[in-house]
Amino acid sequence: MSKYSRRNFLRSGGALLAATSLPLSVVELAFGKGSGQNFTFAYISDSHITHIKGNQFVNNWDRGLIRAVSEANLLDPKPDFIFYGGDIAQLGKPEEIDHGLEILSGLKTDVHHVMGEHDYYLDLGEHWRKRLGPDHYSFDHKGVHFVVLNSILTFDDWMHNKWSSGVERMGQMARLDNPQGSPFMVGEPQRDWLKKDLSKISKDTPVVVFSHSPLQKLYKGWNFWTDDAEQIQALLKPFDKVTVLYGHVHQIQYNQIGNISFHAAMATAWPWPYPASYKQSGAHLPKLTVDMNRADPFFERDATGWQFINMDSGNVDVHYKLPDNQNRIVAYDEKVGHPVDTRFQADADRIPPQTHY
Ligand SMILES: [Fe+2]
Ligand SMILES: [Fe+2]
């Protein structure tokens, strides 16, 4: 166990150990079993940098990203890499992508990226790819296989024939309830690529998949959804340990479907409401999720943040860093076989709801 994660476990920690009932030494022993080693990375997502005019940008969204970059740089020891979960831009403008990347260039660690719909639907990802390269790829790190998928594609007809301009198309996809929108999907070419990519690794290799939209179906009305989620899940099914990390939903969510653990990232920009709050459509939260206390409009950064992630013997502990709220840890619990909120899972420990006037 690295110095940072040991200290972090100790600091935030009793709760984690109580929840898993594992003494620290047993956790350490577990690392010896596989080929992997314990390591950490940080996850920053959904900054929605918004251009006003000239060199003016919306300050609040800039500040959320600047703060995450500063805090990530202060981690000691450094995370092995940073992952950026998509939606750098708000309306896909080159100015927004460039400005976001300028802020991210302050990170003292390598950054990997996944594309968000706000980066894509103005010019179908042209500027993003020019700056950042391919939108799907894989890499190996300390015995873990990482896969990045572009999950926010949709039907050709919708993209190419329905709108008179890219601005109009982006305007539809930039809405939360997008009645004229189209469901997100990974699509067949990437699924074929994924199948080939996964055929090269053994079934006991831990796999981590990064996507922007959830690779599970939560709520189609807000595109908390990927239309071919089941087909992706089927390709991941043969592996012992799989984790999917996604952005897009701007909130804490976690779930387990078969062998796959799912974790969402918070945004640095703003929190979205939980789909459960949309009464007409019932509840669409993943079944395990304990929704966080949120969001007090008098605290600018409430329910926004970034994530420190500990890769623990092939499973992840996601440490949510919330500047104006209580930090949380959602960790895989071997005994129950799914992620558990180490502090707030029990009803008695839930944060009482805030009162809004
Ligand atoms: Fe977003
Ligand atoms: Fe998004």
Mean pLDDT of 117-128: 98
**What's the 15 CA to ligand 1 centre distance in angstroms?**
30
Q: What is the pLDDT of residue 294?
A: 75
Q: What is the mean pLDDT of the chain?
A: 87
Give CA separation, 320 vs 206, 247, 292, 326, in Å: 22, 13, 11, 9
Nearest ligand for residue 115 CA: 2
Nearest ligand for residue 178 CA: 2
Q: What is the pLDDT of residue 277?
A: 65
Mean pLDDT of 260-277: 89
- Return the C-alpha torsion angle 346, 347, 349, 350, nearest 10: 120
Using the structure block, give the residue that is written with the tokens 């009793």: 14
Best-predicted range by mean pLDDT (228-237, 279-288, 294-303): 228-237
**What's the 175 CA to ligand 1 centre distance in angstroms?**
10
Q: What is the pLDDT of residue 33?
A: 42
**What's the 95 CA to ligand 2 centre distance in angstroms?**
18
Q: How sure is the predictor about 20, in pLDDT bands with cuts at 50, 70 and 90?
A: very low
Mean pLDDT of 302-308: 92
Q: What is the pLDDT of residue 298?
A: 77
Q: Return the closest-CA partner of residue 114 out of 9, 24, 42, 209.
A: 209
- Which is more confident, 296 or 183? 183
Decide if pLDDT at 18 tops 80: no
Q: What is the pLDDT of residue 35?
A: 47
Mean pLDDT of 261-285: 80
Give CA separation, 52 vs 48, 58, 59, 60, 318, in Å: 12, 7, 10, 12, 34
**What's the 109 CA to ligand 2 centre distance in angstroms?**
24
Q: What is the pLDDT of residue 2?
A: 42
Q: How sure is the predictor about 276, in pLDDT bands with cuts at 50, 70 and 90?
A: low
Mean pLDDT of 303-331: 91
**What's the 96 CA to ligand 2 centre distance in angstroms?**
15
Q: What is the pLDDT of residue 12?
A: 40
Q: Which of 272-278's residues contact partners 24+ apart within 8 Å by CB, and which partners?
A: 272/176, 272/222, 275/218, 275/219, 275/221, 275/222, 275/224, 278/219, 278/221, 278/222
Q: What is the pLDDT of residue 248?
A: 97
